[in-house]
Amino acid sequence: MKQVMKKSLIAVLCSLCTVSFAQQKQPFSTCSAAFIDSKMIVNLFQPTGQCRLSPKASGELTVKTIALSSTESKPLNKIPFTVAIRDKATNTLHMYSRKPMCQIPVQRVLANCKKGDNIVLLTVSNRYALPHNEILVK
């Protein structure tokens, strides 16, 4: 009888844990976007949107959560990210930053890029969706 009760208690605890985990935030459930100072880099926050930067761009590169509505995209909080650069000639990605950061002067990253390269932003947590994560250096 004690064995049956123990097994039943374990089964109940396991199902409670499963329900608890299911109620946590789903992966990629919080929208985010890349910014230079307070300006969003993507030209249109839709699947067809593109991110482009002049090699002479300046300001603080950040990734922020955003509140989306039908009329605007409002920046909220900075989130940690890392940076890689995709070489245009070989399509090779190399890590620019290994340590997560919340902001970096974009000129510092651009100094390592050539025309046609892409700056690739990687979120540190899978909680954040960053659909426009590649920035073309034009």
pLDDT value of position 138: 96
Class of residue 102 by CB neighbours under 10 A (exposed 0-12, middle 13-18, buried 19+): middle
pLDDT value of position 24: 55
Average pLDDT across the chain, whole number = 86
Higher model confidence: residue 21 or residue 130? 130
What are the tens digits of pLDDT across the range 72-122? 788 999 999 999 999 999 999 999 999 999 999 999 999 999 999 999 999
pLDDT value of position 110: 98
Higher model confidence: residue 121 or residue 14? 121
**59 vs 104: CA distance, rounded Å:** 8
Q: In what helix (H) or strand (E) does residue 71 lie, and over which residues does it extend?
A: none
**70 vs 68: CA distance, rounded Å:** 7
Task: Please write down the HEC assignment for all residues of 27-57.
Answer: CCCEEEEEEECCEECECCCCCCCCEEECCCC
Phi, psi values for residue 14, rounded to 5°: -65, -40
What are the tens digits of pLDDT across the range 33-63? 999 999 999 998 888 999 999 999 999 999 9
